[in-house]
Structure formats: C-alpha cells, structure tokens
Structure 1
Amino acid sequence: MDLQLSVFLLFILFTAGHSLDCYKCLSETGSCAGQTAKTCPSGYSQCESATVIAQVGDITSKVKAKDCSVACQSGSMNLGIVKMTSSCCNTNQCNAQDAPDPSNIPNGKKCFSCDGQTCSKTVGCSGTEDRCIKATGTFGGQSVVVKGCASKSVCDATSVSSVEGISCCEGNLCNGAQSVTQSFLFLCGSLLSYFLMH
C-alpha cells in the first residue's frame, strides 16, 4: 500500500510541474521571424498560430500571431474586411510554423457580411468555410452585429468574452441581412481577439 501511495505522489509531483512551451509572436509585418518560446501559464493547454488579413479600401494589412491558448479552434473565418486562419496544437513548441494565409479558393457558399452600416453585403466563402456565422455583442450600450463565413470548428467555439451570442447555420445566406451600428469594428476586433488569444 505504501508503494502505491508513493508512486501516486511522485506521479502528481512530476505531472503538476510540467508546463507547455509555445512560441510567442505578434508581427504586423506578416512574418514571425525572430519568434521566441515561452512557458505557458497554468491552464493553457494548447499552442496557437494565426494569420489575420484585414482590407479596408485599398489598404491591406497582414498580422501573424502565436501564443499559448486555453481553448484554441483550428479553422478559418471571413468577415468581409477581415479574414483569419488559426492552427492549434498541444505539444511543446508545436506552433513553430505560421498559420497559412486564408484560402482564396472559393467553395461556392455565400453568406451575408456587415460593413459597419448594413449587413446586406454578401461574401463568398472559401476553403473549409462551410458555415455562415453571426455574432452579436454590446459596446457602449449599442448592440453590434458581425457576419460572415466560418469553418465548423470556429462555430463549435461556445463562449466568447464580451460577445453575447454566436450562431452558425449551413445554408447559403442563412445568416440574414440586418442593419448594424457604428461599433462594428469593435465587435470584429473582440471576436478575432478571442480566437487569437483563447
């Protein structure tokens, strides 16, 4: 009996001290060259790598991000002016590779998207984006809506901080056309930061 107890206590001691190491990077130049490794805080069980491309008018910006994650979702999302891909893994420094750029290969699906004024624009989905997504939140007392395309794994994410609800559907244009308020970019940023940092 004492031997079993000793083995159990040794197991607890050695497994409790093990932490995941992930690469960390936030690059606005589109490259994570020079990334550094870090030990993840307790409770962070995944490494994440993400690529975000934002296009407003003629200006395009690409951001690469890597870090520890609590509940990472591999997949892609297209909100019209913002496209994102995320890759998740759960071994030490497994996020060495950058997440791929969002796919430009259309898959035939279409969803409504928002531009800050209305949600009557449509966006063509690409790659694994097989769902239409709608997310609502409240900022400064105003209700805000974002819409677009997402892969099933992104839709499976169930809780988003400061976002009241996420709903996904499978039919073309199934996420409805409704107007939005001026705080569209705040919710868009909040939704993206959830997928980048959780």
Structure 2
Amino acid sequence: MDLQISVFLLFVFFTAGHSFSCYECSSVTGSCTGQTVKTCPSGFSKCMSTTTVTQFGGINQKLKDCAPDCANGSMNLGIVGTSAVCCNTDLCNVQDAPDPSTNSPNGMKCYSCDEESCSNTVSCSGSEDRCITATESIEGQSVVVKGCVSKSLCDTRTSVRNVLSISCCEGNLCNSAQSVTQSFLFLCCSLLSFILLH
C-alpha cells in the first residue's frame, strides 16, 4: 500500500504544474543577449530560434520563441536569407540559429526575384535542396518570390493569410523564371513568418 501511495505522489509531483518553457527574444542588432524565459501557451510544444540576414541595410535579426510547429532548415530568397532551429525540450533554444550567410554553397541554383523580374539566380547552400515559389495578394496585386529552401521547411507549410500559393520543387532552376512588377518585400516578411511560426 505504501509503495502505491509513493508511486502516485511521485507521478503527481512530476506531472502536475509542469509547463513547457522556451527562451524568448527579438533583436535586430545581431545578438539575443536579453533573452527571457517564457511559459508557452497551450498547443505550443516546441522552441524555435531563427536568424534572418538581409542584403539591404545589413539587418541581422535574431528571434526566439515558442512555436506550435517548426522545422530545422534555411531559406535564401536572394535579398533575404533565414535559418531556423527547432527543438522540443524545455529551454532548448538557448543557442542562436546559425547565420544563413555562412552556409557553404551546395552547387544547386534556383531562380529569385527582384522588383523587376524573376530571372535572377541564387546559389543554394547548406541544406537548401529545393526551389520555392510563393505568390501573395497585396492590395489586389499578385506578388511572386522565389529562391532556395530546405525540404524540411517545405514539408511544414500550411495556409497563410494572403499567400495564394507556395510550391517547392527539386532540381536546378526548377522554379522557372517569370516577370513581376510589384515590390515583393511584404511577401518576404509574410513568407518568413509563415515558415518560422507554422
């Protein structure tokens, strides 16, 4: 009888009141030195850490938070690159995600877009083994972004507000070139949020 009570009490102590926690921070200075511990809301059972680097302005943003789902990998859209690290134990996101610009080229190339066309190419690096094409509706206009992405990030995609389509393909330059006429920076932000938080 005493053994059963002891086992029951141990079970209660180890399961009651335990909540999942992750480090949280957001910094555009390239360092997450002010990170705090955050108790994750219900349904958020993973911790993530991301690093995003832009070519324009040299922004190096770090982000850490709880996530309902996430994946390890990286994405390069030409003007912006991001890497994500996902884990599922308490406070496992203590380390920053690696700088995506330090990944070694892997020989694959994909089309990327600027404000005038989608005929530019970008060299894929690290685990980026797919090409991505995404289309978003911004004020009634279709905006397209293209680039390199890791398979793991393609596999985690779900529906995102204003994003009309996201597709990934295998092989060099498989995300064919096509023209665009609108600025696509808004889509880049939406796409990054989608990839990192879903």
> Could you tell me the TM-score, scaled by structure 2's length?
0.88
Alpha-carbon shift at residue 179 of structure 1 (Å): 1.3
The match for 2:49 is 49
- In the TM superposition, residue 104 of structure 1 has moved relative to its aligned partner by 3.5
Aligned-pair distance for 1:181? 3.4
- Structure 1 SS opposite 2:191: helix
> In the alignment, which of 85, 92, 111 is matched to residue 90 of structure 2?
92
1:98 and 1:128 mapped to 2: Cα distance? 18
* Cα offsets for 1:146-181 (capped at 9, x unmatched): 100001101112314122221111110000101123
**Long gaps (5+) in structure 2:** 1-6
Q: Greater shift after overlay, 174-183 or 39-48?
A: 174-183
Q: Is the 8 A contact 1:51 1:63 kept in 2?
A: yes
- Superposed, which structure 2 residues align to 1:48-127 within 5 Å? 48-56=48-56, 59-102=57-100, 103-127=102-126
Shift of 1:195: 2.6
- The TM-score normalised by the length of structure 1 is 0.88
Look up the match of 1:185.
Answer: 185
User: How far apart, CA to CA, are the structure 1 residues paired with 2:36 and 2:144?
Assistant: 36
Is the Cα–Cα contact under 8 Å of residues 139 and 183 in structure 1 kept in the other structure?
no
CA shift, 1:15, in A, is 5.2
Partner in structure 1 of residue 156 of structure 2 = 157
Aligned twin of 1:27: 27
SS of residue matched to 1:33 = coil
Q: Give a deviation string over 1:18-45, Cα, whole Å, max 9, x none.
A: 4210000100100001210110111101
Give the CA deviation at 1:120: 0.5
The AA in structure 2 aligned to 1:33 is: T
Tell me the residue number matched to 1:134: 133
Number of aligned residue pairs: give it: 189
- Tell me the SS of whatever aligns to 2:134: strand
Contact 2:157 2:195 in 1 (8 A): no
Give the CA deviation at 1:76.
Answer: 0.3
1:17–1:161 Cα change, 3 Å: farther
Does the 8 Å contact 1:143/1:181 carry over to 2? Answer: no
Residue in structure 2 matched with residue 195 of structure 1 by the alignment: 195
- Kept in 2: contact 1:76–1:129 (CA 8 A): yes
The percent identity for this pair of structures is 65
1:4 — aligned with what?
none
Q: Give me the whole-angstrom Cα distance separating, in 2, the residues matched to 1:182 and 1:31.
A: 33
Distance 1:171 1:139 in 2: 29
Distance 1:44 1:171 in 2: 34
